[in-house]
Copies of this chain bind each other. A is one copy, B any other.
Amino acid sequence: MNKRHSWEKRIEQLQNEKNMTPKQAKILQAAIELFARKGYFNTSTNEIAKLAGVAEGTIFRHYQTKKELLEAILAPAIMDFTATFFVDQFIADAIHTSHKNMREFLEAFTRNRFEFARQNTPAVRILLQELAFHPDMQETIKQLFMKKIYPRLTKVLVHFQSQGELKDIEMPAIIRMMISPILGLVINRFIIQPHAEHDDEKEIRQTVDFIMNGLGK
């Protein structure tokens, strides 16, 4: 409980970026905690207000609706997640330099997503939980994936196929099989068993090995 999670730093950053009032920060923090713990529909604005130590009306001064509060929590995480695919070194390098092979790329990718999940655990949890119930969010995510992530990933993976490092299977299948174990790793680590002992290094290596053996030539 008192252990300081790395995502708590992340939330502080968030608060500083947009210069919020202390009360607004409290509201955001309370909402994140409650949404993550009990879900969006199961959390009342009254509860959020109480946990944040503000009047209920204060919530609605800063966020017009409860839904907007949810979006204020998820939007930055989603944007961060997407941004990675543009600026991060590992993508650019994979294509433009030749000294990186498939394994190095996969490891960088896995570590990167792993750290993202560590730093955004509550948002990731909320996103996973709520995605099913908010068709507008589904559409947003779908668009994001199809337009930003899928093409970039494909570009890299096709490159490795041409290098003979990756099996000649249809891209959707490759991506699904590559992502599944990474998601399995991350979700188990941060969502299902966040309090269990984990040898992160070892688990990451095992997962990368598994995918490499499964998909490599």
Residues of A within 8 A of B (CB): 38-39, 41-42, 128-129, 132-133, 169, 173, 176-177, 179-181, 183-185, 188, 203, 206-207, 209-211, 213-215
A-B contact pairs, 21 of them (CB 8 A): A38-B133, A39-B41, A39-B132, A41-B41, A42-B133, A128-B132, A129-B132, A169-B206, A176-B181, A177-B184, A177-B210, A179-B184, A180-B181, A180-B185, A181-B214, A183-B184, A184-B184, A209-B214, A210-B214, A213-B213, A214-B214
Please give the distance in Å from A129's CB to the nearest CB on chain B: 5
Checking B39, B169, B211 against A214 with a beta-carbon cut-off of 8 angstroms, the contacting residue is: B211
**Interface SS, A side:** helix
Which chain B residue shows the least CB distance to A126? B132
Task: Give the shortest distance, in Å, between A148 (CB) and chain B (any CB).
Answer: 18
- Residues from chain B with a CB closer than 8 A to the CB of A207 are 177
CA distance A211 to B211 in the complex (A): 9
By a CB distance below 8 angstroms, the chain B residues around A169 are 206
Contacts of A181 in B (CB 8 A): 176-177, 180-181, 214
Residues of chain B within 8 A of A180, CB atoms compared? 180-181, 183-185
Taking A39-B132, A211-B214, A213-B213 as given, write out 13 further A-B residue pairs in contact, using a Cβ cutoff of 8 Å, ordered by the A residue number: A41-B42, A129-B132, A129-B133, A169-B206, A177-B206, A177-B210, A179-B184, A180-B180, A180-B185, A181-B214, A209-B214, A210-B215, A214-B215
CA distance A130 to B173 in the complex (A): 28
C-alpha spacing A180/B132, complex, angstroms:
20
Whether the pair B213, A188 counts as a contact (CB closer than 8 A) is: no
